[in-house]
Chain A
Amino acid sequence: GAVVSQHPSWVICKSGTSVKIECRSLDFQATTMFWYRQFPKQSLMLMATSNEGSKATYEQGVEKDKFLINHASLTLSTLTVTSAHPEDSSFYICSAKAQTETYNSPLHFGNGTRLTVT
């Protein structure tokens, strides 16, 4: 149980275009979803936390107008990288938490999306 599906697994786009990444909880209702970014040989960096039906909370230094997050349903959250630039090339990972889970429950991660901006 607790499967999180992330799509696409990888994407290559041209500079200036936008890319949408989807994160779905397949067998549970995800009231909270987290979006991370990871550069090579670096740890996970939390970008934002989204709760179903409300605006996402962005971490300091993350541009909310550039990284649009939508969590319109209990099973789907999307991250849109707008006007992507080469420096946005990274590994983006989502994770989800069910309403019944507490803070000490392990995170359920998607498989990540490798974004390359040319």
Chain B
Amino acid sequence: GQNIDQPTEMTATEGAIVQINCTYQTSGFNGLFWYQQHAGEAPTFLSYNVLDGLEEKGRFSSFLSRSKGYSYLLLKELQMKDSASYLCAVGAGNNRKLIWGLGTSLAVNP
């Protein structure tokens, strides 16, 4: 079956670093996306990984290990506005459909 696991909730302090993990078990793999979603809003794209390694984009970085079925999103220099839900999604199957995780709700405290 298709399965994506993420922690449900995380808490961090403003200015700190936080790592949000995502593990997946899917039939086929066509890349992994991270999206950010503020309450009541649509998701916004953060990153895409299809090869192993780290992709850095400003304060956000995303890592992928295909052999381990594992990815993480690293957020540095946390700001209050980073409080949101972070969704991990994997492209899988012959139709390359996106399989979505349940999301990790991150609360950034002052």
Contact = CB atoms under 8 A, between A and B. Distances in A.
A112 B41 contact: yes
B48 A104 contact: yes
A23 B65 CA distance: 36
Interface string A78-108: 0000000000000101010000000110110
Chain A at the B interface: SS class: loop
Given A43-B87, A91-B40, A103 B96 contact: yes
Interface stretch (B10-18, B70-78, B99-107): B99-107
26 contacts: A41-B105, A42-B102, A43-B87, A43-B100, A44-B43, A44-B87, A44-B100, A45-B100, A46-B97, A93-B43, A95-B42, A103-B31, A103-B96, A104-B30, A104-B31, A104-B48, A104-B50, A104-B91, A106-B33, A106-B45, A106-B48, A107-B43, A109-B43, A110-B42, A112-B42, A114-B40
Interface string A42-80: 111110000000000000000000000000000000000
A112 B33 CA distance: 20
Contacts, number: 44
- Chain B: interface size category: 20 to 34
A6 B91 CA distance: 24
Chain A to chain B: the 6 pairs with minimum beta-carbon distance, closest first: A106-B45, A109-B42, A103-B96, A43-B102, A43-B100, A44-B100
Nearest to B30: A103
B65 to A, nearest CB: 18
Interface residues of A, number: 19
A111 interface: yes
Contacts of B41: 111-112
A54 to B, nearest CB: 15
Interface in B22-81: 30-31, 33, 40-45, 48, 50
Contacts of A44: 43, 87, 100
Nearest to A38: B37
A44 B100 CA distance: 7
A24 to B, nearest CB: 14
B98 interface: yes
B12 to A, nearest CB: 19
